[in-house]
Amino acid sequence: MSSLWEYANPRKFMATSAFLLPWTAGIAAVCLVTGLVWGFFFTPDDFRQGSTVKIIYVHVPAAIMAINAWFMMLVTSIIWVIRRHHVSVLAAKAAAPVGMVFTLIALATGALWGQPMWGTWWEWDPRLTSFLILFLFYLGYMALWEAIENPDSAADLTSVLCLVGSVFAVISRYALLFWNQGLHQGATLSLDREQNISNVYWYPLVITLAGFGFLFIALVLYRTRTEIRARRLKALIAQERMA
């Protein structure tokens, strides 16, 4: 009986990820190139925002994936806490820098977009600010991993931090709404999308979103492979020291 948990075995994960990696990376490259080229060269300007609307193709997918990356880290951390699957927590470790870069992209493009639209580089808008806080959470999570020598202790402590941090991230989100009503436009992607965005912008956006998603999966697979090797390396060095 095959089960999902088999992939938590490092050997099995290495085999499966070796198979998946070229596919996900390939799909990511195709989607990113198609979506960004389409979005940049072949979409009309918005009547109100002008050509800045083109920023949407990097800003929105990066923002969505920045949050999804943290959510994935939360899930894999919980799996580690409950079922002690090493690969799970190493995947969380591998995802953190990728999520942080996505957050940074969302912040930077948000600032560049805000400058012509709102007349200021940085606006303490609830959405922008929550991404800044998310960025701080990523930094803290990664710093804690780096600071602890024993890999299993580091896994446990970062998982606890990820859990507690997630709760506080949600509270911060609501606190920020209370704190400042904000200038940011409403969610770009929602079920009643017809009201927010027309098809000309919608199709390339979905493709770039898929591109960012597959890029995230590919990078996490690739970096998890590295983390597994690094963990193996640590085990071997410890073994040599004992011999």
Of 185-224, which residues contact other proteins (CB under 8 A)? Answer: 215, 219, 222-223
Contact flag: residue 237 with other proteins (CB under 8 A): yes
Max CA separation in the chain (angstroms): 72
Contact flag: residue 82 with other proteins (CB under 8 A): no
* Of the residues 5, 19, 124, 179, which one makes contact with other proteins according to CB under 8 A: 179
Give the nearer residue to other proteins in terms of CB position, either 133 or 200. Answer: 133
Contact flag: residue 104 with other proteins (CB under 8 A): yes
Residue 138 · residue 103 · CB < 8 Å? yes
Q: How many residues bind other proteins (CB under 8 A)?
A: 81
Strands (E), the chain: none
Give the nearer residue to other proteins in terms of CB position, either 150 or 194. Answer: 150
* Of the residues 20, 82, 108, 187, which one makes contact with other proteins according to CB under 8 A: 108
Contact flag: residue 175 with other proteins (CB under 8 A): yes
What residue has token string 């492979």? 225
Contact flag: residue 97 with other proteins (CB under 8 A): yes
**CB 62 → other proteins: shortest distance, Å?**
7
Distance CA 90, CA 86 (A): 6
Dihedral pair phi/psi, residue 48, rounded to 5°: -100, -45
Give the nearer residue to other proteins in terms of CB position, either 187 or 235. Answer: 235
3-state secondary structure 61-120: HHHHHHHHHHHHHHHHHHHHHHHCCHHHHHHHHHHHHHHHHHHHHHHHHHHHHHHHHHCC
Distance CA 230, CA 243 (A): 20
**CB 191 → other proteins: shortest distance, Å?**
27
Of 23-62, which residues contact other proteins (CB under 8 A)? Answer: 36, 40-41, 45, 50-52, 54-55, 58-59, 62
Dihedral pair phi/psi, residue 230, rounded to 5°: -65, -40
Of 138-157, which residues contact other proteins (CB under 8 A)? Answer: 139-140, 143-144, 147-153, 156-157
Contact flag: residue 182 with other proteins (CB under 8 A): no
Contacts (Cβ under 8 Å, ≥6 apart) of 126? 173, 176, 177, 179, 180, 181, 182, 184
Contact flag: residue 120 with other proteins (CB under 8 A): no
Contact flag: residue 20 with other proteins (CB under 8 A): no
Give the nearer residue to other proteins in terms of CB position, either 153 or 190. Answer: 153
Give the nearer residue to other proteins in terms of CB position, either 120 or 194. Answer: 120
Contacts (Cβ under 8 Å, ≥6 apart) of 97? 138, 142, 223
Taking each helix axis from N to C end, the angle separating 86-118 and 126-147, rounded to the nearest 10 degrees, works out to: 150
